[in-house]
Amino acid sequence: GIIVAADIRGADANNAGLWLELDAILAVVIGGGSLMGGRFNLLLSVVGALIIQGMNTGILLSGFPPEMNQVVKAVVVLCVLIVQSQRFISLIKGVRSHDKT
């Protein structure tokens, strides 16, 4: 937080969190929060934020362009949307019940 605050480069508080919305949403969702609302766990959200930062660092250290971060995050959001959808959940339940019989 302190490093991000130091990176504002100005007195405009409106730009302090600009372009960090996707990271914040992903941190909560990776930490186990639902996109449909409900409860979340603060500690797991911090773990999600660490995972996001590790993913960002890994992509940059691998030599990919910085724009690749947004592509990977978009793929993660799509995966989370699919996994948390009611259709996917009912499909998994159907496969599990079919395997038991």
Give pLDDT tens digits for 67-92: 898 899 889 888 988 888 888 888 88
Residues 28-73 have pLDDT tens digits of 888 888 777 777 788 988 998 999 999 999 999 999 998 898 899 8
Determine the Cα–Cα distance for residues 84 and 52; give it in Å rounded to an integer.
Answer: 19
Q: Hey, what amino acid is at 78? A: L
CA–CA separation, 84 and 30 (whole Å): 12
Q: Where are the domains of the chain?
A: 2-100
Q: Residue 3 to residues 7, 8, 62, 83: CA-CA distances in angstroms?
A: 6, 9, 23, 33
CA-CA-CA-CA torsion sign (17, 39, 26, 35):
negative
Q: What is the pTM of this model?
A: 0.69
